[in-house]
């Protein structure tokens, strides 16, 4: 499957699938509700994810994409915001697609 991360509106971890856990080293059982910046071993990865989330949220929830090298492989980091009726992001859906 595709490594997938779900963050809440405050960019705290709501869900990770097993592929995302294996790739990032983050265990949802230990990290649920924590800021991705606080639990990511790779601060650059966390910063990239947060920047993409912010860009998506401030542009009407539009899809955002960036790249980051994780475990020696290049990944496209894809972020979609899930907006409420008030146009504020309620959650962020992040997928990681290996490029190389």
Residue 87: phi and psi, rounded to 5, are 65, 15
The yes-or-no verdict on residue 5 having pLDDT over 90 is yes
CA distance 38 to 72: 22
The CA–CA distances, whole Å, from 20 to 35, 58, 61, 87, 95 equal 16, 25, 22, 28, 9
State residue 70's pLDDT score: 87
Model confidence at 100, pLDDT cuts 50, 70, 90, reads confident
Q: Percent of the chain, pLDDT > 90?
A: 95
The whole-model pTM stands at: 0.94
pLDDT in tens, 13-43: 999 999 999 999 999 999 999 999 999 999 9
Taking alpha carbons only, the member of 65, 87, 84, 86 closest to residue 76 is 65
CB 9 within 8 A of CB 17: no
């Amino acid at each position: 499957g595709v490594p997938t991360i779900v963050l809440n509106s405050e960019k705290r971890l709501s869900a990770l699938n097993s592929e995302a856990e294996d790739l990032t080293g983050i265990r949802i059982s230990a990290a649920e509700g924590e800021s991705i910046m606080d639990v990511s071993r790779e601060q650059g990865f966390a910063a990239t994810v947060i920047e993409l989330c912010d860009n998506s949220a401030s542009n009407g929830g539009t899809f955002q994409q960036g790249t980051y090298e994780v475990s020696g492989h290049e990944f496209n980091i894809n972020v979609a915001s899930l907006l409420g009726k008030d146009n504020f992001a309620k959650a962020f859906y992040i997928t990681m697609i290996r490029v190389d």
